[in-house]
Amino acid sequence: MATPSLEAVAKAMVAPGKGLLAADESTGTIEKRLAGIKVANTEENRRAYRDLLFTTKGLSQYISGVILYDETLRQKAADGTPFAELLAKNGILPGIKVDAGAKDLAFCPGEKVTEGLDNLAKRCAEYVKLGARFAKWRAVITIGVDIPSSTCISANAHALARYAAVCQQAGLVPIVEPEVLMDGNHIIHRCEEVTEWTLNAVYEALYLNRVALERSVLKPSMVISGKDCPEQAEVAEVAERTVRVLKRTVPGAVAGIMFLSGGQSDELATEHLNAMNKMSSGRLPWTLSFSYGRALQAPSLKAWKGAAANAAAGQAALLHRARMNSLACAGQYNASLEEQALAA
Ligand code: 13P
């Protein structure tokens, strides 16, 4: 079968009512998630957990793709099928995190730059052979006293653009992920300002690096109040400010926008997405969807607790959150649906 074009893959990622499951936690990050349910971070436990997620029946109704980590892309389901093959057979696109993590940025205390450009073309070629269809690179921008600096914004924008160009040349759709962190006590206006600055820099860098926007997906953070800010903006304000910034900065040619959850609670991440879609009711040039990690997985991890006997409960929790977010893509989510699910 011919490999689908990058445009077709990007379109499939943002198909109506569908989003991505980010299951690409590095070995260090998944350790934190597993520690939360007192499960040891062994290779087999990581495999078993991902097996549970990926074999959830009906997942493809709400999930168009799954972002994997290098180790996971090489692992197999219990029946011996490689995860990438299993997902593809179920109509879910396999993706791969290709960055090597955010590292301290020289001369810029408190700021990070994402590494991973070395050998990227070679690694992408291997990932394509292993079945990956799209890739992810996450840049982090920290808000604090006198930061972010323009050094940090431009270094991260440049790296994101270099990554995106390499991916497209290798045959992967790049997810461009500039995350403005919610850590800190800043008011929402500051987050809006920094997000606008960041996205402008990112799209300028993508242009300079000849990236075809139609073959790319944006994964931004939402415009929200700092986690420790005493004044937490309401859902409507988050939705308005986020959509306003996106309209100002993201070209209409971009295939779609799939938000990260960034540490928001699972239900709040759904509410925010729903509010944005409800207020814009199809009038935006791009789809607004989700690419959540924690906000999709947290209830599932809690239900599973590392016990095979709880696997079905873990899958039911994932399917429920995926369905809630699918409804939010159409502005049709309602918090009362959560209670109905609990009562069921
Ligand atoms: P969160 O939704 O937990 O922020 O994870 C999404 C992701 O892929 C971060 O890079």
Condensed to tens digits (0 to 9), the pLDDT of residues 204-230 reads 999 999 999 999 999 999 999 999 999
- 332 three-state secondary structure: coil
Percent of the chain surpassing pLDDT 70: 99
Query: Rounded distance, CA 320 to CA 151, Å?
Result: 42
What pLDDT is attached to residue 166? 98
Is the residue at 224 inside a domain?
A: yes
What pLDDT is attached to residue 342? 65
| CA 281 to ligand 1 centroid distance, Å | 25
* pLDDT greater than 90 at residue 281: no
Residue to probe by mutation, ligand 1, list 30, 33, 177, 261, most atoms within 8 Å of CB: 261
What pLDDT is attached to residue 282? 85
Give the total number of structural domains in the chain.
1
Is the residue at 16 inside a domain?
A: yes
State if residue 260 touches ligand 1 by the CB under 6 angstroms criterion: yes
The stretch 326-331 carries a mean pLDDT of: 98
Radius of gyration, alpha carbons of the chain: 19
Here the tokens at position 90 are: 């179920």
Is the residue at 326 inside a domain?
A: yes
State if residue 262 touches ligand 1 by the CB under 6 angstroms criterion: yes
Q: Which residue has the higher pLDDT, 34 or 3?
A: 34
Residues serving a catalytic function are 177, 219
Nearest ligand 1 atom to the CA of 24 is 8
* pLDDT greater than 80 at residue 257: yes
Is the residue at 247 inside a domain?
A: yes
Is the residue at 152 inside a domain?
A: yes
Here the tokens at position 190 are: 């500051």
| CA 5 to ligand 1 centroid distance, Å | 26
* pLDDT greater than 70 at residue 47: yes
Alpha-helical segments (H) within the chain: 6-13, 27-35, 43-54, 70-73, 83-89, 120-129, 150-170, 188-208, 235-249, 266-280, 294-304, 311-329, 336-343
> Are 220 and 259 in contact, with CB atoms under 8 Å apart?
yes
Percent of the chain surpassing pLDDT 90: 97
pLDDT classification of 4: cutoffs 50, 70, 90: confident
State if residue 33 touches ligand 1 by the CB under 6 angstroms criterion: no
| CA 180 to ligand 1 centroid distance, Å | 12
Is the residue at 168 inside a domain?
A: yes
> Are 233 and 268 in contact, with CB atoms under 8 Å apart?
no
Nearest ligand 1 atom to the CA of 297 is 3
* pLDDT greater than 60 at residue 1: no
The stretch 120-139 carries a mean pLDDT of: 98
List Cα–Cα distances, 264 to 55, 221, 296, 298, in angstroms: 26, 10, 11, 11
Q: Whose CA is nearest to atom 10 of ligand 1?
A: 138
Tell me the pLDDT of the chain averaged across its residues: 97
What pLDDT is attached to residue 340? 80
The owner of tokens 């692992």 is 75
Which residues span the domain enclosing 140? Answer: 6-343
Query: Rounded distance, CA 131 to CA 76, Å?
Result: 13
CATH number for the domain harbouring residue 306: 3.20.20.70
pLDDT digits (tens, 9 = 90+) for 148-162: 999 999 999 999 999
State if residue 261 touches ligand 1 by the CB under 6 angstroms criterion: yes
Residue to probe by mutation, ligand 1, list 260, 264, 265, most atoms within 8 Å of CB: 260
Give 153: exposed, middle or buried? Use CB within 10 Å, 0-12, 13-18, 19+. Answer: buried
| CA 296 to ligand 1 centroid distance, Å | 10
Is the residue at 1 inside a domain?
A: no
Query: Rounded distance, CA 31 to CA 40, Å?
Result: 8
Q: Whose CA is nearest to atom 8 of ligand 1?
A: 22
Calculate ∠ Cα 33-35-41, nearest 5°: 85
* pLDDT greater than 60 at residue 253: yes
pLDDT classification of 263: cutoffs 50, 70, 90: very high
What pLDDT is attached to residue 344? 65
> Are 13 and 258 in contact, with CB atoms under 8 Å apart?
yes
Is the residue at 295 inside a domain?
A: yes
State if residue 293 touches ligand 1 by the CB under 6 angstroms criterion: yes
